[in-house]
Amino acid sequence: MPRLTPDQLLDELSWIDDLLIVQDLDGVCMQLVKDPLTRQMNPSYVRAAAQLEGQFMVLTNGEHEGRRGVNRLVEAALGDPSTPQRDGLYLPGLAAGGVQFQDRFGTLSHPGVSPEEMDFLSKAPKRMEALLLEQLPQLLPNCSSADIQHLAKTAVLDTQVSPTINLNGVFERIPTDVAGQRAMQTMLDALMQQLLNEACAAGLSNSFFLHVAPNLGRDSAGRERLKPAMTGDVGSTDIQFMLTGSIKEAGLLVLINQHVAQRHGTAPFGETFNVRTAPKDASELLQLVKERVPAAHMPRLVGVGDTVTSTQASDGSQWLRGGSDRGFLTLLQDLGRWCGQSNRVVLVDSSHGEVDRPSLTDGRLDGISDPDDPLQLDVLMPNGPTQYIAWFQELANRRHSVAVV
């Protein structure tokens, strides 16, 4: 089907009564950067999100709280750490893949997470750093001990419930060495597998999984595939140590559950439904919606992301499709087909930042989609977060004007 222009989507959404926008954050409303601590958020975007209260939720693998949390970016954008809580300007929705929920006043919860799991997670960043210090010297023989210590420390993102190793700083040392970058990716995968094994030894065998970003979908064992580095596309840069159930597809159902409850008075999946109790398979999630939610109660859904991948297998036998936003965008699209409405998928070009990503500019979608891709990308934002923010503001203004009238 032909794609819509951003302006056509604006016209379509301006008058819809029951709307829910589900949006990723990094690469969508802010540029991708090598050091997440340098991210910046546009204050006009924050205030536009507040205008869409009840019609907008975030769904991100990042986190709301902590020194690396998005809440710090909101506070910095508004110039006062007290303003967001007082005026309800924090971004509502799910973080850490779905295990961290926040309302617009910053009230935070971790539904379904045990004290034992939280304790292991609190110790994981130090363990990650120690393992990096063991592995990096042999892969970067020309780096001094001080450099290795700095790289190991800055590579570990010490978030509360999804501690992560980010290789962007390491890749800066070997920017044209594709073989070296692939060796780093292999090392990182083995290191994080070791951490999973240590969790199993601590009695937490079913508590965690590894999220690779960006990835090439899952293998036959259910593990996310690394996207190997290649010239012009560094491939997988991060691996997150995440709680089981922290998948955006399940998070989408949590947000639908809350939205329907707020609008119609009853939570179709129950008041305590969360990503850890949700089905793990996309087809089961779709079936649950069909069984529990009247089609007439489904909001018009708009999914916004930036990380969708598709690469042909080396033998040419299949397309390896992945990306952290692909799953929830595909489910959102399938939900629209089931209930007979045009749910929309918006893809924002995140290649404009500091991280190598395939671009939407030439319209070919190489590395992003393929001729047989079941995911229909309804609207492309080739100019990245700047274009999306302007579009988002205009939508918020239009819908606010309609509501006032």
pLDDT digits (tens, 9 = 90+) for 77-119: 999 999 999 999 999 999 999 999 999 999 999 999 999 999 9
Same domain, 203 and 322: no
Same domain, 156 and 237: yes
Same domain, 206 and 261: no
- Give the CATH number of the domain where residue 339 resides: 3.40.50
Token digits of residue 230: 């290649």
Determine, yes or no, domain membership for 105: no
Determine, yes or no, domain membership for 97: no
pLDDT digits (tens, 9 = 90+) for 255-290: 999 999 999 999 999 999 999 999 989 999 999 999
Same domain, 278 and 334: yes
Residue 403: pLDDT over 80: no
Q: Contact 304/49 with Cβ under 8 angstroms?
A: no
Same domain, 231 and 314: no
Residue 332: pLDDT over 60: yes
Determine, yes or no, domain membership for 126: yes
pLDDT digits (tens, 9 = 90+) for 47-66: 999 999 999 999 999 999 99
Split at pLDDT 50, 70, 90, the class of 401 is confident
Among 243, 270, 296, give the residue marking a domain's end. Answer: 243
Same domain, 239 and 312: no
Beta-bridge mates of residue 23 = 58, 304
The three-point CA angle 94-221-132 to 5° equals 70
- Spatial CB neighbours of 150, under 8 Å, sequence gap ≥ 6: none
d(CA 246, CA 162): 9
Among 243, 259, 290, give the residue marking a domain's end. Answer: 243
Split at pLDDT 50, 70, 90, the class of 375 is very high
Determine, yes or no, domain membership for 75: no
Q: What integer pLDDT is reported at residue 1 of this predicted model?
A: 67
Same domain, 167 and 316: no
User: How far from 296 is each of 57, 79, 160, 335, 403, CA to CA, in Å?
Assistant: 21, 42, 38, 12, 21
Same domain, 258 and 219: no
H or E element that contains 317: none
Burial code of 96-115, b = ≥16 C-beta within 10 A, e = fewer? bbbbbbbebebebebbbbee
Instruction: Render 59-76 in DSSP notation, one character per residue.
Output: E-SS-SSSTTSHHHHHHH
d(CA 345, CA 11): 15
Determine, yes or no, domain membership for 16: yes
pLDDT digits (tens, 9 = 90+) for 109-155: 999 999 999 999 999 999 999 999 999 999 999 999 999 999 999 99
Token digits of residue 80: 């006062």
Chain mean pLDDT for the chain = 95
Residue 11: pLDDT over 90: yes
Among 223, 243, 263, give the residue marking a domain's end. Answer: 243
User: How far from 121 is each of 113, 164, 248, CA to CA, in Å?
Assistant: 11, 11, 20
In sequence order, which ranges of 140-238 are alpha helices (DSSP H)? 145-155, 168-173, 178-201
Same domain, 120 and 204: yes
Helix (H, G, I), strand (E, B) or coil at 126: helix
Q: Contact 192/148 with Cβ under 8 angstroms?
A: no
Residue 348: pLDDT over 90: yes
pLDDT digits (tens, 9 = 90+) for 182-218: 999 999 999 999 999 999 999 999 999 999 999 999 9
* Whole-model pTM over 0.75: yes
Determine, yes or no, domain membership for 368: yes
Split at pLDDT 50, 70, 90, the class of 35 is confident
The three-point CA angle 356-362-365 to 5° equals 65
Which domain range does residue 184 map to?
Answer: 115-160+163-243
Same domain, 398 and 272: yes
Token digits of residue 166: 């980010």
Total number of domains constituting the chain: 2
Q: What integer pLDDT is reported at residue 404 of this predicted model?
A: 56
Same domain, 53 and 130: no
pLDDT digits (tens, 9 = 90+) for 22-34: 999 999 999 999 8
Q: Between β-strands 300-305 and 224-226, what pairing exists: parallel, antiparallel or unpaired?
A: unpaired
Determine, yes or no, domain membership for 73: no
Token digits of residue 337: 């087909």
Distance of CA 405 to the CA centre of its chain: 35
Q: What integer pLDDT is reported at residue 36 of this predicted model?
A: 87
- Mean pLDDT over 305-309 rounds to 96
d(CA 375, CA 327): 9
Determine, yes or no, domain membership for 228: yes
Judged by phi (left if over 0) then psi (alpha if -120 to 50, else beta), residue 217 lies in left
Q: What integer pLDDT is reported at residue 381 of this predicted model?
A: 98
Burial code of 246-269, b = ≥16 C-beta within 10 A, e = fewer? bbbbbbbbbbbbbbbbeeeeebbb
Token digits of residue 320: 């390896």
User: In the block, which residue shows the tokens 């999100």?
Assistant: 49
The pLDDT > 90 percentage for the chain reads: 93
- Spatial CB neighbours of 235, under 8 Å, sequence gap ≥ 6: 181, 182, 185, 214, 226, 227, 228, 229
Same domain, 336 and 282: yes
Cis geometry, peptide bond prior to residue 115 (ω within 30 degrees of 0): no
